[in-house]
Amino acid sequence: MLRPRLRDWLPDPSAFRDMDAAAERLADAVVRGEAITVFADYDVDGATSAAILLRTLRALGSAPDHYIPDRLLEGYGPTPEALLALAARGTRLVVLLDCGTHAFAALEAARAAGLEAIVVDHHKAATALPPACAIVNPNRFDELADGGVAAAHAGLCTAGLAFLLAVALVRALRRRGWFATRPEPALPALLDLVALGTVADVMPLVGLNRAFVALGLKRLAARANPGLAALLEVSRLSAASARDLGFHLGPRVNAGGRVGTADLGVRLLTTEDPEEARRLAAELDALNAARREIEAAVTEAALAAVDPAAPVAVAAGEGWHPGVIGIAAGRLKDRLDRPAIVIAREGDRPAKGSGRSVPGVDLGAAVLEARERGLLLAGGGHAMAAGLTVAPHCIPALVAFLAERLGPALAARPATRPLAVDLSLAPRGLTPALHAALAVAGPFGAGWPAPRVAVGPVRVVEAAETASGGHVRLLGAGPDGARVRAVMFRAAATAAGAALLGARGRLLHLAGEVVRNDWQGEARAELHLDDAAPAD
């Protein structure tokens, strides 16, 4: 897997239920020139999967439209009103991406209006499925029960599934002779989009996902997609790693759906005009900066509202921006080391919530069960993340249910967990050459973490909080004369951060990921800290 090849890992798309039906129906639409609308979620997975399908359909001679719902006005997934409006303006076939698995009312309304639908999604499904001509989802109940090829790929995000659908669609058209007089689209050119969706949706970087990201990063380096090239520019990145996809490119694509215009990300990723790409990327960059300020305020308010004794941290607040509650939930989860749900209330109206979980605790399944018990108006997700809509008066009952449902799994987690270290070295060993040697085993991310390196002992010379972000930066001196630079992100308000800020003059062992930092033309290695331990 050091140099993965797509043909070694790509499964036959036909192994997924309804994949062939979806490909044949799309092929019919392409051949007949039918009006197709791609309806996608407003997050990075939705934007990248939409861009993959839109680019594929355009390369096949189709002229598809797109629709991204407004997070604040419409919420997650399709509404009956949205699908009926698409039907009224002439759409014959709608493809729902990263949503639709639980859209019973919307898809029933679409069917009654004569609008056909294909669902491509990866969120956990209930035993029943809504009406559609095809539902491609490796997390369908029947796929998981069979335990076949699709279940083995349950860790794919929708961008990966959209790529498989593109493969199946091209194959279906090839059988019909569609390419006798026209070129086939170069589908590997879409792998940069697949990589971005996979990393941003925190999918495990193993197997096919690892191949997608490794090959996608190579494609990204070519800057062939004008939108991604513009994102690299505004992010001030000369090259991109998997980490950069998650921390720099992904949040900017997300910013439109969170605090701006929902379809900005899709427009950026599908434009062929470099000038338009630069304009859209600059707009998303500005929105991302605004999003950070809003998110910081919501996070602090949510931390103050959490019951410190509850096994699941649930915080609800009036007027919190729904566009940042998922990020705030992630911050709470990291800070408190337990599942967290942040709920934005607006008086007596249904409240929107977003949750993030910790390894070994399946939040998505608990949210589905809460919905089935009538505690939620809507909800779904996967093990590590979930979204929900809840009546305000039901929030206390939801908190009690989550404590009962997830309490045993949380109690089974050890109170203290050992920190595994892959390599221990003296301070002088922390070099750019070490980073280059370790990077060969990348890309790193969820399911395939970067090697953790312990460095020490070092005497702390400087320890300070950064001007923004609440990070803690360290400068240490080793007995071998080497200087060690390290940073612990968003740690200033934590116990670990406080200990580091008070460690000046002390000897420490440091543990974390080795990263390369090119500062004023000088290449140097530093640590992104996971933890530190006294050495004196």
Q: Please name the fold of domain 311-408.
A: Diaminopimelate Epimerase; Chain A, domain 1 (3.10.310)
Helix (H) or strand (E) holding 198: helix 191-200
pLDDT in tens, 339-357: 999 999 999 999 999 999 9
Torsion of CA 216, 217, 220, 221, to 10 degrees: -140
Please give the residue that has the higher pLDDT: either 412 or 458: 458
pLDDT in tens, 405-430: 998 988 888 877 788 999 999 999 99
Helices (H), 412-529: 432-439, 495-501
Output the pLDDT for position 71. Answer: 84
Q: Is the pLDDT of residue 156 over 80?
A: yes
Return the sign of the alpha-carbon dihedral for residues 374, 379, 382, 385: negative
Mean pLDDT along residues 239-260: 91
Q: Are 319 and 327 a contacting pair, CB within 8 Å?
A: no
> Could you tell me if residue 402 is left (phi over 0), alpha (psi between -120 and 50 degrees) or otherwise beta?
alpha
Mean pLDDT along residues 461-483: 92
Mean pLDDT along residues 390-397: 96
Mean pLDDT along residues 230-239: 93
Q: Any idea which of 70-74, 197-201, 371-375 has the lowest mean pLDDT?
A: 70-74
Q: Are 187 and 56 a contacting pair, CB within 8 Å?
A: yes
Measured CA to CA in angstroms, residue 134 lies from 33, 129, 153, 166, 298 at distances of 20, 10, 18, 15, 39
Beta strands in 82-141 (DSSP E): 93-97, 116-120, 134-136
In angstroms, the CA 410 to CA 65 distance is 45
Quickly tell me which residue has 């707009």 as its tokens: 283
Please give the residue that has the higher pLDDT: either 370 or 520: 370
Output the pLDDT for position 257. Answer: 85
Q: Compute the mean pLDDT over every residue in the chain, rounded to the nearest whole number.
A: 93
pLDDT-derived band at 279 (thresholds 50, 70, 90) equals very high
Q: Is the pLDDT of residue 536 over 80?
A: no
Mean pLDDT along residues 42-64: 97
Whole-prediction pTM: 0.87
Please give the residue that has the higher pLDDT: either 275 or 467: 275
Q: Is the pLDDT of residue 394 over 90?
A: yes
The CATH class for the domain spanning 6-286 reads alpha beta
Q: Are 354 and 384 a contacting pair, CB within 8 Å?
A: no
Output the pLDDT for position 1. Answer: 62
Helix (H, G, I), strand (E, B) or coil at 133: coil
Output the pLDDT for position 313. Answer: 95
Q: Which pair of structure tokens corresponds to residue 242? A: 């998997």
Mean pLDDT along residues 320-337: 91
pLDDT-derived band at 7 (thresholds 50, 70, 90) equals confident
Output the pLDDT for position 418. Answer: 83
pLDDT in tens, 507-518: 999 999 999 888
Mean pLDDT along residues 222-227: 96
Mean pLDDT along residues 114-123: 97
Cβ-count burial 175-201 (b if 16+ within 10 Å, e if not):
eeebeeeeeebebeebbbbbbbbbbbb
Sketch the domain layout of the chain as residue ranges: 6-286, 311-408, 423-534
Quickly tell me which residue has 């499904």 as its tokens: 125
What CATH number should be reported for the domain whose range is 423-534?
Answer: 2.40.50.460
pLDDT-derived band at 469 (thresholds 50, 70, 90) equals confident
